[in-house]
Amino acid sequence: MKHILKIPAINAVGLSLFTAFYALIFIVTSRHVEFVNLLYYYNRTTDIHSFWTGWSSFLASGRHALIAYALIGITILVVLMLLLRRRPYDEYHTANLLQCLAAATILTLAAIAGFYLMILSNPNGIVEKFTLFIVIHWTTVVLADLVYVFVSRWR
């Protein structure tokens, strides 16, 4: 595992696939009628769930594609920095990357538990809730990798 993570291209490929998968979904569903029909809180007038109605309107307007474009941009920056790196990571960098991945895994597991409880308490709007979970998860991973490549530049 550590041997594989020493190669910057492995990190670049992993992050590219991760972003490509979610970006494709976000861009395809943007302003898609069937996706909008799945949104529970869209066009519902309720003061109780104002956050979810706002988030639902944001998704219905297709602006979640902007999130995808922003994260694609950051991913391209990270991938370029990884591919332009002249030397492989050393064992200190690899240990840091493993810690980042472990932290991301723990945060994701905690988020899954949190969202599961949220859905159990109110199963309505599962598309909105799960999309928010994906946005948080995706953004966390991409930004963590960005911080990692900046911190681990060979100086």
Partner 1 sequence: MQNNVKRLREERGLTQKELGEHVGVSRQAINAIETGKFDPSIWLAYDLAQFFGVTIEVLFLFQEEDRK
How many Cβ atoms sit within 10 Å of the Cβ of residue 134? 16
Query: Which is closer to partner 1, CB of 45 or CB of 87?
Result: 87
CB of 146 to partner 1, least distance (A): 17
The least CB distance from residue 155 to partner 1, in Å, is 6
Q: Decide if residue 130 touches partner 1 (CB under 8 A).
A: no
CB of 90 to partner 1, least distance (A): 4
Residue 155 in the binding site for partner 1 (CB under 8 A): yes
Q: Which is nearer to partner 1, 54 or 90 (CB)?
A: 90
Which region among 25-33, 51-59, 76-84, 85-93 touches partner 1 (by CB under 8 A)?
Answer: 85-93
Residues in the site for partner 1, rule: CB under 8 A? 90-93, 95, 152, 154-155
